[in-house]
Chain A
Amino acid sequence: MILLWYVLIPTVAAPLAWLAGRRSPAAARWVALAGTAAPLALVAAQWIAATDRLSAAFTAAGPGAAGLAAGSWVVDLRAPWIDSLGISFFVAADGLTLIMLLLTFGLGLLSVLCSWRGITTRVGAFHFMLLWTVAGLAGVFLALDLFLFYFFFEMMLIPMYFLIAVWGHERRVYSAVKFFIFTQVSGLLMLVAIVALVLIHGRATGVYTFDFTQLLGTPLPAGTAFVLMLGFFAAFAVKLPAWPLHTWLPDAHTDAPTAGSVLLAGVLIKIGAYGMLRFMAPLFPDAVAAFRTWALALGAIGIIYGAVLAYAQSDMKRLVAYTSVSHMGFVLIGVFAWNELALQGVVLQLVCHALSTGALFILVGGLQDRIHTRDMARMGGLWRVAPRMGGTAMFFAMAALGLPGLGNFVAEFLILVGVWQVSRWAAVLGAVGLVFATVYALWMMQRAFQGEETHRLSFPDLTRIEVGMFASMIVALVLLGFWPQPLIVTARQTVDGLQRMTAGTALVAPGADASTSTDGASGGPAVTDGAADTGSAPATGDGGAP
């Protein structure tokens, strides 16, 4: 039942916030705060309670359906929904889910806080949309029924669309519609792929079901699998976004209100990576392997392209948006490298990017509230006016460029090491991208906060709320930089499970398995107990420990 609360609390809080907003804006803010803080506390509690389960060595004999990477599921809930189509309300949580939920509610909370001063019109409706988005996001990360997943996937578009179109900046309508249509088209392609998969599975077995665990291992001809995989890839690549499907992102991020940008960059685009990890690769491992070269190329281009374009921006918010394109390129090559190191790096990158980019968006938003521009040509020397803001910006710029000691460095390093074992040139290009990242991050600092104080601006420094928000994010990033172990442990069973589900396919090359031993923690038991899942698993693949 606890899983249901994650969706229900924000869903119920949303209309309450709207109603409260009719009385007073402050009431709506407090309701929204409670509506995100309560599930955040719940997830944190569940995470702590599950520590033992999660850190235990992987056991295949755990509870759950045999088709799943059994044992890694902390809790699940299944209820009939649309029986006649084989659709059930099937939600479950494992380590990865808990991490994503922490991100969702954490950044949800931050976006409520960062709108405390900035949003003054239709406050009730704003928080309704915000909470509804959060509910949809939570649902996406919990769903294991593919229909339910798609349902939530599309559901949260509507409130996000309103957030951008109503409370956004200059070209808000254009950006909102572009975002909506991009996501919707690609989502529908995924829907067609889902339906086709279900039908193929149904014809083969006589069981028509959208249950992901049952659909795993559906035998597919290579050509069909590739087309279906492309359907999923289209949806997730738009979300991620991968070059060249990224063009909605700079517009949407730039024109969204701060809270919208934070949720977009922090959580929404992570669905792309999550979907690839959770659904696409396990369902179509061979097709993913066949697509690997292309995807690595797209990712590598995205890293460089995003970084170069970020450097070329004069709009500070747009600059931050393009850095997302670059960072998500790392995620893409990490996912397609598909070895334990890279996947752990991807999970870390999701968290660290959410924190660092979310913080940068809050910072730019705060700056815009104060000086009413995002144009860096009209800034300069701001450090002297607002030293606390400057210092904070410096910190998160360093995080974005991957300074050792911060979480982003660990994540990108793990990804690059993982990718190196699969494709040298992709890793090299990724590393080159890091150099570019240094350039744009420092250039941004230089233009906005250093240099001549040409415009004689004067504005108040960070407020107490802002200091609190940034401090929590700084602490988190430093912790992740020096001691990423809790996160790695939490995600380890998921990553192990993914490796096992795809063991024996072209995706997990025998040679690449060497990486598991360098990680040291979990390579051992992997050899024997892969039999629980797809059937072809125990034959090859896993025995690669040197």
Chain B
Amino acid sequence: MTAADLLTVSPLIALTLTAVVVMLAAAFRRSHALALRLTLGGLAATFGTLFVAASRDARAVTLLVSMDAYTLFFIGLLTATTALVAILSYQYLAQLPVQPEEYYVLLLTATLGGVTLVASTHFAAFFLGLEILSVSLYALIAYTARRAAAVEAAVKYLVLAGATSAFLIFGMALVYAETGTMTAAGMRDVVAGLHPGAVVTIIGLVMLLVGVGFKLALVPFHMWTPDVYEGAPAPVTTYVATVSKGAVFALLLRFLLPVSADQGSAVFLALAAVAAASMLAGNLLALRQDNVKRMLAYSSIAHLGYLVVAFLAAGERAGAAVAFYLVAYLTTTVTAFGVVTVLSTADRDADHLLDYRGLGARRPVTAAVFTVALLSLAGLPLTIGFIGKFLIVTAGSGAALWTLVVLLVVTSAVGLYYYTRVIVAMYVRAPEGAQAGRTAPGARAATGAPAVFTLVALTAFLLATGVYPQPLLRLAEHAVSVLPWP
């Protein structure tokens, strides 16, 4: 490792240091506000070092990580999202009977894991990053340990994620045993050398996909999602839905990109089936949910299905679509869950549809933010989600994946129904009696001014990018241009 290497990996170092500093600070002086400030400062510093790293040539630092434009793009996305989650968490944690400082440490280590994932070019870094992320998440999900649902969710996640790690590491071992490679660059030869007789390699790849599919909550590995989303504290749910999934998807694109080149291969067909099943199941199961967190969980399954369609489309255009859509999905999801977080009280999260009845009259700003977020999730114009969906349709059509594209179109129309249900609940006068016996959390929850301000700023971003996506699109194109496109 040279000094130049150190400068290049400065984002990773900055993030690690931040976690350490926040932990030490908590040891000396317990202060929630201080922990948040240090966290935000550290994340800002990490974001700043991206520019240092970007000014240098892209390089592989050891075999494990590569600091190229792709990595930097996603580190930027993940740190920014983490910062947003941290801000949104503050008010939420302040009203709970927990010690909040360690929460930020866990948040930072989880992000460190995510950042390692997006930078990794080697199975070792891949596994390391995934474990750092997962272990932090176990603790985060159970952070409100007095709520039984949170503990249940954490245990469920722990057991399943543990099993998945086993799958993953076994898959890596099989691929390595057959082909002798553990690097992302080597995957091209692995995939190119696939033939129906290479059973062990195929099994290894499929096991890798199972591991990744679990993290991304793709059907049929999605069972944990609704329960964990519902049980985890709202800001943690936000994190699981955004940073964790974004990091893993970025990794998927880097490692398994060559899979998409051959539309006839078994792995390709398996992924296509997974995408189709995710879009169908996610959207159809969301239809009948009265719990907003569960509804968003199923909708996130569908969104990851859309992303897989873009992933399968192969080519630089499709890669840019993936990167753009990830930004769209992450920012929109943070906004949507941010609203849930802001409305939650010390007693419980604002997760029932009834909690949103009449929100338009009670808290017009929050309701407007949620409306924009839902419209963006539904992919309607003027929002970033629309541009994202358009890019995916373009990418899918470009690769002639007609079945998947038409399925995407039809299922996302189904999605309109459940998104509009929430909007209707917020704005339409409630029929008599529906409100009976129900407290409205939004009315009592303290309005965290920074949180609301953050949400409004995010909404402005969603709209601005929806109207003028060119800068972000250019950035995404630049980021994916370093991948080894066929």
Q: With an 8 A cutoff between CB atoms, is B149 at the interface?
A: no
- Residue contact B393 to A191, C-beta cutoff 8 Å: yes
CA distance A289 to B382 in the complex (A): 36
CB atoms of B381 and A155 under 8 A apart: yes
B-side interface residues, number (CB < 8 Å): 31
Known: A188-B413, A192-B393, A199-B397. A84 touches B381 (CB 8 A): no
CB contact list, B447-486 vs A, under 8 A: 468-470, 473-474, 477
Q: Which residues, 149 to 171 on A, are CB-close (under 8 Å) to B?
A: 150-152, 154-155, 157-158, 161-162, 165-166
A151 touches B381 (CB 8 A): yes
* Residue A172 interfacial (CB < 8 Å): yes
A162-188 interface mask toward B, CB cutoff 8 Å, 1 = contact, 0 = none?
A: 100110000011001100110011001
- State how many residues of chain A have any CB contact under 8 Å with chain B: 33
Contact of A82 with B470 in the complex, beta carbons under 8 Å: yes
Residues on A with beta carbons closer than 8 Å to the beta carbon of B406: 192
Chain B residues contacting A154 (CB-CB under 8 Å) are 380-381, 386
Q: Which chain B residues in 349-399 approach chain A with CB under 8 Å?
A: 375, 380-382, 386-387, 390-391, 393-394, 397-398
State in angstroms the CA–CA spacing of A184 and B428 once bound together.
21
Residues of chain A in range 312-365 having any CB-CB distance to chain B below 8 Å: none
CB-CB under 8 A for A195 and B375, given A82-B469, A82-B470, A172-B428 = no
Check B124 for interface membership: any CB of A closer than 8 A.
Answer: no
Interface string of B388-425 (1 = CB under 8 A from A): 00110110011000000110011011001100100110
Contact present for A180 and B416 (CB under 8 Å): yes
| Residues in chain A near residue B469, CB distance under 8 A | 82
How many Å from the CB of B293 to the closest CB on chain A? 22
Question: How distant is A227 from chain B, measured CB to nearest CB, in Å?
Answer: 10
| Interchain CB contact under 8 A, A195 and B427 | no
Assuming the contacts A84-B474, A161-B420, A191-B393, asked whether A181 and B428 have C-beta atoms less than 8 A apart, the reply is no
Q: Is the interface of B mostly helix, strand, loop or mixed?
A: helix
Q: Which residues of B contact A61 (CB under 8 A)?
A: none
Q: Would A84 and B380 count as touching, CB distance under 8 A?
A: no
CA distance A180 to B424 in the complex (A): 13
List, in ascending order, chain B residues with CB within 8 A of A150's CB: 381
Taking a contact as CB atoms under 8 Å apart, the answer to whether B398 and A199 are in contact is yes
CA distance A83 to B470 in the complex (A): 7
Residue from B397, B412, B468 within 8 A of A195 (CB atoms): B397
A483 interface residue (CB < 8 Å to B): no
In the complex, the answer to whether B424 meets A189 with C-beta atoms within 8 Å is no
Which residues of A are found within 8 Å of B390, using beta-carbon distances? 147, 191, 195
Contacts of A165 in B (CB 8 A): 420, 423-424, 427-428
Contacts of B410 in A (CB 8 A): 185, 188
Q: CB within 8 Å of A: which of B179-199?
A: none
A45 within 8 A of B: no
B428 engages A173 (CB within 8 Å):
yes
Q: Which of A154, A172, A173, A184 has the largest count of B CB atoms less than 10 A from its CB?
A: A184
Alpha-carbon distance between A157 and B386 when the two chains are bound, in angstroms: 14
Contact of B420 among A82, A172, A180 (CB under 8 A): A180
B52-63 vs A, CB cutoff 8 Å, 1 = contact: the mask equals: 000000000000
What is the chain B residue whose CB lies nearest that of A151?
A: B381
- Interface presence of A465 (CB below 8 A): no
Is B382 a contact partner of A155 (Cβ separation < 8 A)? Answer: yes
Of residues 188 to 242 in B, which have CB atoms within 8 Å of A's CB atoms?
none
Are A84 and B477 in contact (CB-based, < 8 A)? yes
Q: Please determine whether B413 and A192 come into contact, CB atoms closer than 8 angstroms.
A: no
How close is A348's CB to chain B, nearest CB, in angstroms? 31
Name the contact of B405 in the complex, choosing from A84, A166, A184, A192 (C-beta under 8 A): A192
Structural contact, A189 and B409, CB atoms closer than 8 A: yes
A82 lies within 8 A of B473 (CB): yes
**A191: which B residues are within 8 A, CB to CB?**
390, 393, 409
B380 close to A166 (CB less than 8 A): no
A residues less than 8 Å from B387 (CB atoms): 82
Name which residue of chain A comes closest to B420, CB basis.
Answer: A177
Does A188 lie within 8 Å of B417, measured CB to CB?
no
**Alpha-carbon gap, A421 to B469, bound state (A):** 49
Task: Give chain A nearest CB distance to B478 CB in angstroms.
Answer: 11
Residues of B near A152 (CB, < 8 A) are 381
Which of chain B's residues have a CB closer than 8 A to the CB of A82?
387, 469-470, 473
State the A residues within 8 Å of B (CB). Answer: 81-85, 147, 150-152, 154-155, 157-158, 161-162, 165-166, 172-173, 176-177, 180-181, 184-185, 188-189, 191-192, 195-196, 198-199
Q: A185-B413, A188-B410, A198-B394 are in contact. List 6 more A-B contacts (CB 8 A).
A: A81-B470, A155-B380, A180-B416, A181-B416, A188-B412, A192-B406
Residues on B close to A: CB < 8 A?
375, 380-382, 386-387, 390-391, 393-394, 397-398, 405-406, 409-410, 412-413, 416-417, 420, 423-424, 427-428, 468-470, 473-474, 477
3 tightest A-B CB contacts, nearest first: A188-B409, A185-B413, A155-B381
9 pairs across A/B with beta carbons < 8 Å?
A: A82-B387, A84-B474, A84-B477, A152-B381, A158-B380, A165-B424, A181-B417, A185-B409, A195-B394
